[in-house]
Amino acid sequence: MKENKYDVTALACRYFPESTKRNARRRFFNVLRSEKDLWQRLTALHFGIYQRNFTPKQYKLVIDILGLPEGDDADFGEWVH
């Protein structure tokens, strides 16, 4: 099954591959909230904690500030999960 590259949980799993989906999402949100500037800018772009997908602007903001997940040389677009 292919997933959208903007899927919040799938992106969280890329940052925390050793975690379950639920735990990866929780840890990812902890990182997002700890980066105060990032969190403020995301909420200004109408990001909510129950959102399943990033908008393209939200996704770009996260990648620009946090960088690509470890081991990824390029934007991963869609991936098989």
pLDDT at 40: 97
Separation of alpha carbons 68 and 64, rounded Å: 8
Residue 71 has what pLDDT? 62
pTM score, whole prediction: 0.79
Taking the CA of residue 24 as centre, how many other CA atoms within 13 Å lie in the half-sphere pointing to its CB?
16
pLDDT of residue 81: 37
| Mean pLDDT for back-to-back runs of 10 residues, the chain (81 residues) | 75 94 96 95 94 93 91 49 37
* Confidence at residue 79, expressed as pLDDT on a 0 to 100 scale: 39
Q: Where are the domains of the chain?
A: 2-69+76-80
**pLDDT value at residue 4:** 65
